[in-house]
Amino acid sequence: MRRAGLPRSGFSLLEMLIAVAVAGLILGNVAMVLGSSNKAFEKESSASALELQIDQTLDRIVLALMGASLEQLDPNAQLPAFHPQLEFVQSMGMQDGAVVESPPERIEMTLANGEVTWRENPGAPSERAVLWSRWARRYLEGEVPNGLDDNGNGLVDESGLAFVIDGSRLTVHLSLERPDSEGNLVAYSRSSVVHCRN
């Protein structure tokens, strides 16, 4: 029995239930905020990785083509044509008054799996190959296979890796695409102009 005038000690069952419910609401909100920020971080990380990949791949292509001879590019895809692969040789310098050239090289995109690959001595027993990217789009960003120039760059239905020669300029177009953590496709496109050796 309680004596009159003495303060009550402890919590009632109702007070405990209210405290547990409030704590549950607070923890639930904290978990939702952390979960959404984690998803946003993963999505941003995926986009950043793709952006880094396109920059690195395009830089490798440009560096490989800077020493190439414009007259020896094969195929010689003049505007308004493009090609998803390009064979070339690089001028290595002079020896005894003659130009020394590198072994034949090829940069290509495989349409079936979206891989961008560099090859030295393509098709020969001594062929070397390096995979530069595996996320090339089938068509350049903004382009659909309909016989029209959908993205306004003067080319029709161009592939995700497209080489175009206009006079002494070689333009490289590249689009990469990759799903983010939620399965949504993220795409980036870049173009670069290469001035080959004459």
pLDDT one-digit tens code per residue, 61-97: 998 888 887 777 766 555 567 888 889 888 777 888 8
Q: How far is CA 78 from the centre of its chain?
A: 26
Number of domains in the chain: 1
Q: What is the pLDDT of residue 28?
A: 82
The answer to whether residue 145 is domain-embedded is: yes
Residue 4 sits at φ, ψ, to 5 deg, of -65, 140
The long-range contacts involving 115-122, CB below 8 angstroms and separated by at least 24 positions, are: 116/57, 116/61, 116/161, 116/174, 118/60, 118/64, 122/87
Amino acid in the structure at residue 132:
W
What's the pLDDT score for residue 134? 87
Domain of 53, in residue numbers: 40-195
Contact between 172 and 88 (Cβ < 8 Å): no
Low-confidence residues of the chain: pLDDT under 70: 1-10, 37-44, 74-80, 197-198
**Terminal CA-CA length for the chain:** 106
User: For position 75, what pLDDT does the model report?
Assistant: 63
Q: Is residue 30 part of a domain?
A: no
Is 32 a domain residue?
no
Question: Does residue 62 lie within any of the structural domains?
Answer: yes
Output the 3-class SS for 21-79.
Answer: HHHHHHHHHHHHHHHHHHHHHHHHHHHHHHHHHHHHHHHHHHHHHHCEEHHHCECCCEC
- What does pTM read for this prediction? 0.72
Angle, alpha carbons 160-163-165 (nearest 5°): 150
**pLDDT score recorded for residue 66:** 85
Q: What pLDDT does 7 receive?
A: 63
Report the DSSP pairing between strands 98-101 and 91-95.
Answer: antiparallel
**Quick check: is 91 in a domain?**
yes
Position 146 in a domain: yes
Residue 33 located in a structural domain: no
